[in-house]
């Protein structure tokens, strides 16, 4: 897997991702402490509102950012957005009112809504080889999981030396370091095939996404991941601290078990994907997440919850989470022309976060109203329903090359020269999927 780091451009991009993630992790810890400092017992409400603002920014602004990203040099755009994030992070230590947190979080996440899809769309252009790109996706998944494990430990070490608001300086340093790494390399910036209006550019990725059966299926898989994953991310602290009456250390242990499962799969997946299709791996992951949620629901009803049961189930949910999400970039690259990738990655960013925007409050409400058993049951059943939908809309037979014709084109059109066999993706010359009524205009 590490052999992909021999590519200088990707190596710098990966290091930029790592330092930015570490900075973001420090900000997550510091933000919780800042909220408690300002709001006391209402800190959870403040953080919940900030998380909602983050998701709203992601869902609404990513397609707009992608519309303009295609008109700019990618390196310039990524560096500029890193600088914006660094400046906003430096403002957070000076916050004195809760509303100021909300404004700054919106600005920070608005910049991230432009940065992340553009960053993700650049990697397949840097690594055209399929195996290299698969290794890069696994490394990216590992980076996210390691951030979840290492950032709290780094924050704890720093808090023994400095006040919590100093952690925001570390966040800013992370973003500046990311910008410095990106500025040292030349990044490909595919040119749009033709000039387009703002509305066309804004909605293009979403229309390509929803017109492609495998991506509609993947969106249903994302719903499974969000529903069952929200049980872990939203309710772990309640289950461990309230239901089991255990310490904060046990909370960290439970979340670490989830991260360990995800990391394990990220390490194994490049080899697995040489033998199995993306659809098969994702089906396994979504089914595992749903089954384990339902098994824990039954266990909780019959025997009550225990920490070993939670740790095992959270580990398996982490395995399923990574099995579904890690190959996603392969699907997006397979389903788009290079010039459309920023728009398509932005569409994925928006739609997947829309799933989380549904799952987060649903999971929290079910837990507070009905407890862990009912919540696990509802989310597990919902995960299975989404899995079933994914398998219906994403056919098992999903070849790259699909027989099709172009009666609307003249015989001497450049697209028809040299025979007509090529990987089929939605673009200006292929506006609907063969055999489907969904049309991309």
Indicate the helix (H) or strand (E) that contains 37: helix 8-39
Rounded Cα gap, residues 436 and 320, in angstroms: 30
Mean pLDDT of 31-36: 73
Rounded Cα gap, residues 105 and 420, in angstroms: 50
Worst-scoring range by mean pLDDT, 36-50, 64-78, 365-379? 36-50
Q: Which of 361, 395, 366 is nearest to 380 (CA)?
A: 366
Q: Mean pLDDT of all residues in the chain?
A: 83
- Higher-confidence residue of 423 and 136: namely 136
Q: What is the DSSP secondary-structure string of 338-395?
A: GGGHHHHHHHHHHHHHHHHHHHHHHHHHHHHHH-HHHHHHHHHHHHHHHHHHHHHHS-
How many angstroms separate the first and last alpha carbons of the chain? 40
Tokens encoding 163: 């006040």
DSSP-derived letter for residue 207 is H
Which pLDDT score is estimated for 144?
A: 75
Which pLDDT score is estimated for 266?
A: 84
Q: Which of 61, 323, 29, 69 is nearest to 150 (CA)?
A: 29
Q: What is the pLDDT of residues 144-190, one digit of tens each?
A: 767 666 666 676 677 777 787 888 888 899 999 999 999 998 877 66
Which pLDDT score is estimated for 437?
A: 42
Rounded Cα gap, residues 186 and 361, in angstroms: 42
Which pLDDT score is estimated for 439?
A: 40
Q: What is the pLDDT of residues 269-327, one digit of tens each?
A: 888 988 999 999 999 999 999 999 999 999 999 989 999 999 999 999 999 999 999 88
| pLDDT of residue 194 exceeding 70 | no
Domains along the sequence of the chain with CATH: 1-188 (1.20.1250.20), 203-395 (1.20.1250.20)
Which pLDDT score is estimated for 428?
A: 65
Which pLDDT score is estimated for 47?
A: 67
Which pLDDT score is estimated for 63?
A: 78
Contact 351, 255 (CB under 8 A): no
| pLDDT of residue 124 exceeding 50 | yes
Share of the chain above pLDDT 90, in %: 27
Residue with tokens 């494990």: 149
Q: What share of the chain is helix, strand, coil (3-state, %, to 5)?
A: 80, 0, 20
CA angle 412, 415, 421 (to 5 degrees): 115
| pLDDT of residue 440 exceeding 50 | no
Which pLDDT score is estimated for 176?
A: 95
Rounded Cα gap, residues 108 and 101, in angstroms: 10
Worst-scoring range by mean pLDDT, 170-184, 222-236, 329-343? 329-343
Indicate the helix (H) or strand (E) that contains 217: helix 213-238
Whole-prediction pTM: 0.81
Q: Which of 178, 154, 183 is nearest to 167 (CA)?
A: 154
For the beta carbon of residue 55, count every other beta carbon within 10 angstroms: 18
Which pLDDT score is estimated for 438?
A: 39
Contacts of 397 (CB under 8 A, 6+ apart): none
How confident is residue 222, by pLDDT bands cut at 50, 70 and 90?
Answer: very high
């Amino acid at each position: 897997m590490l052999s992909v780091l021999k590519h200088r451009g990707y190596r710098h991009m990966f290091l930029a991702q790592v330092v930015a993630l570490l900075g973001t992790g420090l900000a997550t810890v510091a933000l919780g402490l800042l909220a408690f400092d300002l709001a006391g017992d209402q800190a959870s409400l403040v953080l919940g509102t900030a998380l909602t603002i983050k998701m709203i920014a992601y869902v609404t602004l990513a397609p707009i950012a992608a519309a303009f990203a295609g008109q700019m040099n990618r390196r310039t755009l990524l560096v500029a957005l890193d600088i914006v994030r660094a400046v906003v992070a430096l403002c957070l230590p000076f916050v004195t009112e809760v509303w100021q947190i909300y404004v700054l979080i919106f600005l920070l996440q608005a910049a991230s809504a432009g940065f992340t899809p553009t960053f993700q769309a650049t990697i397949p252009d840097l690594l055209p080889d399929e195996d290299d790109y698969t290794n890069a996706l696994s490394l990216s998944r590992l980076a996210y999981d390691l951030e979840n494990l290492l950032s709290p430990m780094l924050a704890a070490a720093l808090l023994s030396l400095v006040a919590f608001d100093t952690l925001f300086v570390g966040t800013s340093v992370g973003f500046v370091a990311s910008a410095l790494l990106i500025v040292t390399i030349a990044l490909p910036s595919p040119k749009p095939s033709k000039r387009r209006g703002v509305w066309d550019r804004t909605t293009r990725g979403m229309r390509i996404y929803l017109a492609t059966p495998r991506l509609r299926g993947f969106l249903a898989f994302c719903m499974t991941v969000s529903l069952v994953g929200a049980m872990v991310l939203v309710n772990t602290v309640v289950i461990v601290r309230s239901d089991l009456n255990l310490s904060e250390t046990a909370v960290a242990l439970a979340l670490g078990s989830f991260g360990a499962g995800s990391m394990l799969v990220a390490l194994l997946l490049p080899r697995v994907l040489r033998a199995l299709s993306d659809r098969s791996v994702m089906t396994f992951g979504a089914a595992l997440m749903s089954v384990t949620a339902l098994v824990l629901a039954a266990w909780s009803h019959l025997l009550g919850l225990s920490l070993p049961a939670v740790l095992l189930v959270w580990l398996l949910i982490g395995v399923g989470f990574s099995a579904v999400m890690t190959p996603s970039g392969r699907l997006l690259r397979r389903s788009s022309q290079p010039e459309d990738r920023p728009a398509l990655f932005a569409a994925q960013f928006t739609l997947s976060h829309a799933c989380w925007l549904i799952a987060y409050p649903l999971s929290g409400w079910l837990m507070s109203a009905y407890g862990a058993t009912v919540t696990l049951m509802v989310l597990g059943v919902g995960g299975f329903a989404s899995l079933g939908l994914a398998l219906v809309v994403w056919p098992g037979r999903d070849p790259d090359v699909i027989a099709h014709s172009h009666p609307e084109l003249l015989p001497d059109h450049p697209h028809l020269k040299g025979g007509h066999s090529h990987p089929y993706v939605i673009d200006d010359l292929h506006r609907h999927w063969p055999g489907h009524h969904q049309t991309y205009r």
